[in-house]
Amino acid sequence: MRLLLIEDDKKLNQSLKYQLEKENFIVDACFDGEEALFYIDQGIYDVVLLDRMLPLLDGTGLLNLMRRKNNATPVILITALGTLNDKITGLDSGADDYLVKPFEFEELLARIRCVTRRSPLIHGNDVLSFGDLTLNMGESLLTGPEGSCSLSKKENELFQAFFRNPGQTLTREQLLAKVWGLDADIENGNLDNYIHFLRRRLLAVGSHTILRTVRGIGYCLRASKPGSCINPTDRMPR
């Protein structure tokens, strides 16, 4: 799961990033609202952790911009502003949760679990489902009608991206940034190779789900009923 941490207190930012990465989250961190807006516009995050008092663009203004752009990524406001009116303003601006500083790290983890499992695709903390498939993220295990297979770390992360965006076309740029990071020096051919691996996994577990190539844009994971007519190149590895 990829998180965006927006906190201008550098010591707290670094501490939270370190603790979250120890919990196996992928974390991008920034320190002001304008930089955060660039990250958010990439559309690659599962949860945004947002301080309210930020330089250049405050947290409430940033949140309003997100929602006006129809960005529905779950947002947890993390702030020292803890009055009832502060909480109401934050939640009415589009936040999914509100956490007042200081807080225990375990509570932050619980709130992240809460906002992510509101999706009907999520069962418990570690399992996603789509069509005839289930993905155990913690065990890197994909299960379909004809059995299960183990996944590599990158295969697991790519499947998570598709499962969390069912039926949506994810651009090549989004997939590369989400799995490898915004600054990673990764060639497009590496993504093509992993899409090939994912299609092999789908065949191995007997799934009718298809990983469709949307030419010139990216890829889309779609459920398909047995016997339906599909493009063979969307199912078969190269």
Domain at 164, CATH number: 1.10.10.10
Domain at 27, CATH number: 3.40.50.2300
Q: In terms of Cα–Cα distance, which of 145, 143, 157, 165 is closest to 221?
A: 165
Global pTM reads: 0.70
- The β-bridge relationship of strands 47-51 and 2-6 is parallel
Amino acid (one-letter) located at 152: S
**Domain boundary, last residue among 88, 116, 144:** 116
**C-alpha to C-alpha distance for 127 and 125, rounded to whole angstroms:** 6
- Domain extent, residue 7, equals 2-116
Verify that 162 and 188 share a domain, yes or no: yes
Number of domains in the chain: 2
Element (H, E) at 2: strand 2-6
**Using one digit for the tens of pLDDT, what is the confidence trace for 223-235?**
875 544 445 455 5
**Using one digit for the tens of pLDDT, what is the confidence trace for 122-168?**
445 578 889 899 999 889 999 999 999 999 999 999 999 999 888 88
